[in-house]
Amino acid sequence: MFKKTQKNQVTDLNSAAKSQNFKKYIRKYWQFYVLLLIPILYYIIFRYIPMAGNIIAFRRYRAGGSLFGQKWSGLKYFKQFIGDKTFWRAFRNTLVLNISYLLVRFPLTLIFALLLNEIKALWWKKFVQTVSYLPHFISMVIVTGMIRELVSTSGPLNQLIAHFGGDKISFIAFPQYFNPIFVISGVWQALGWGTILYLAAIAGINPSLYEAAEVDGANHFQRVWHVTIPCILPTITTLLILDIGGLVGSGGAFEKVFLLYNPMTYETADIISTFVFRMGLGSGNYSYATAVGLFEALLNLTLLTVANKVSKKVSGSGLW
């Protein structure tokens, strides 16, 4: 009994000491805590509070009525979209676009980061980085406008085709061309920006590892393969997990697809987020659109969890 009481007293003293230290840190660094409130409030107001609106996926909602719907409908809207062929077309297109984009962008970003790291001339390295980063900061409206001008019948691409004797093609009007346009333009936008984390991870590698590999007779390629890539493997794994977790989501694809697609390209261009937009804001089926959006979010969460567990078993690193 005495030992138990003594242990409780020690625990209380430790708790009191931690509380005093926390208060001391707040008084000393209160400016940082105030700044921290800004993102916290942002996520609470714009991310967490709106989650309450997901209730209308299970209730019938009409514009102008109760915020949480008028009547309980259960799984009616989930059964409705599961039997909707248009939804499954959008689901298929989402997977095809995201997987195609991931298979092309992910390895190219890693290769580009490794190549940038090999540039010895600092001025040239900074120039290449700046040029490759710039597309990321261009507004999506401007990007899609540039794409439309590039692939239009009077654009430079068709002018080149006509120069070599080919027939002009209205690329933006044919569904089979949407996937290549989406992937190529996405790589152009994200290639440079995606190298930032890789370059930061490479900069943290101990130079003695390269020296040891060189002493052992490793050539340039072998040093990259056996030193650089294993050292940045946790970063590669983390980014891959995040990408897999968004395979069913739209990410930043919604704006591009919405600005580029048209009824003639719905067959390959219509994705879940544009489908939700048309069903919700376009047709006023808010409960139906919310049910689809909730299904998309749960599927992404499942993919993220599975990818994280697989990564921890295979490589020993994960997000959590």
Number of domains comprising the chain = 2
**Percent of the chain predicted with pLDDT > 70:** 92
pLDDT surpasses 60 at 1: no
What local confidence, expressed as pLDDT, does residue 148 receive?
93
- For residues 92 and 266, the answer to whether their CB atoms sit within 8 Å is no
What local confidence, expressed as pLDDT, does residue 2 receive?
45
pLDDT confidence bin for 14, thresholds 50/70/90: low
Instruction: State which residues form the domain around 117.
Output: 78-314
How buried is 136 (Cβ within 10 angstroms: 0-12 exposed, 13-18 middle, 19+ buried)?
middle
**Whether 192 and 96 share a structural domain:** yes
What local confidence, expressed as pLDDT, does residue 25 receive?
79
User: Which CA distances in Å does 238 have to 38, 108, 310?
Assistant: 26, 17, 12
Query: Which residues neighbour 314 within 8 Å (Cβ) at sequence distance 6 or greater?
Result: none
- With vertex at residue 100, the alpha carbon angle to CA 99 and CA 103, rounded to the nearest 5 degrees, is 80
What local confidence, expressed as pLDDT, does residue 71 receive?
85
What local confidence, expressed as pLDDT, does residue 63 receive?
77
Assess if residue 200 is contained within a domain: yes
- Supply the mean pLDDT for the chain: 86
Assess if residue 60 is contained within a domain: no
Among the listed residues 211, 221, 206, 185, the one whose alpha carbon sits nearest the alpha carbon of residue 111: 221
**Whether 19 and 106 share a structural domain:** no
The C-alpha atoms of residue 34 and residue 32 are separated, in whole angstroms, by 5
**For the residues 58-83, what does the mean pLDDT come to?**
85
pLDDT surpasses 50 at 193: yes
Query: Tens digits of per-residue pLDDT, 118-170?
Result: 888 889 988 998 899 999 999 999 999 999 999 998 889 999 999 888 889 88
**For the residues 3-25, what does the mean pLDDT come to?**
61
Assess if residue 168 is contained within a domain: yes
Assess if residue 229 is contained within a domain: yes
10, 36, 52 - which closes a domain? 52
pLDDT confidence bin for 50, thresholds 50/70/90: confident
pLDDT surpasses 80 at 15: no
pLDDT surpasses 80 at 252: no
Assess if residue 134 is contained within a domain: yes
- For residues 100 and 234, the answer to whether their CB atoms sit within 8 Å is no
- For residues 185 and 260, the answer to whether their CB atoms sit within 8 Å is no
- The region of weakest confidence among 15-19, 144-148, 218-222, 261-265 is 15-19
pLDDT confidence bin for 19, thresholds 50/70/90: low
The enclosing domain of 264 has a CATH number of 1.10.3720.10
**For the residues 257-278, what does the mean pLDDT come to?**
92
Dihedral (CA of 206, 211, 213, 214) sign = positive
Of residues 213 and 65, more confidence is placed in 213
Query: Tens digits of per-residue pLDDT, 76-86?
Result: 999 998 999 99
Assess if residue 158 is contained within a domain: yes
pLDDT surpasses 60 at 315: yes
What local confidence, expressed as pLDDT, does residue 242 receive?
83
Label each residue of the chain as H, E or C: CHHHHHHHHHHHHHHHHHHHHHHHHHHHCHHHHHHHHHHHHHHHHHHHHHHHHHHHHCEECCCCCCCCCCEECCCHHHHHHHCCHHHHHHHHHHHHHHHHHHHHHHHHHHHHHHHHHHCCCHHHHHHHHHHHHHHHHCCHHHHHHHHHHHHCCCCHHHHHHHHCCCCCCCHHHCHHHHHHHHHHHHHHHHCCHHHHHHHHHHHCCCHHHHHHHHHCCCCHHHHHHHHHHHHCHHHHHHHHHHHHHCCCCCCCHHHHHHHHCCHHHHHHHCCHHHHHHHHHHHCCCHHHHHHHHHHHHHHHHHHHHHHHHHHHHHCCCCCC
**Whether 27 and 84 share a structural domain:** no
Query: Tens digits of per-residue pLDDT, 94-114?
Result: 999 999 999 999 999 999 999
How buried is 90 (Cβ within 10 angstroms: 0-12 exposed, 13-18 middle, 19+ buried)?
buried
- The region of weakest confidence among 20-29, 153-162, 203-212, 239-248 is 20-29
Assess if residue 319 is contained within a domain: no
**For the residues 22-48, what does the mean pLDDT come to?**
86
What local confidence, expressed as pLDDT, does residue 64 receive?
74
The C-alpha atoms of residue 262 and residue 155 are separated, in whole angstroms, by 19
pLDDT surpasses 80 at 65: no
Assigned token pair, 76 = 């009616």
**Whether 23 and 116 share a structural domain:** no
pLDDT surpasses 80 at 7: no
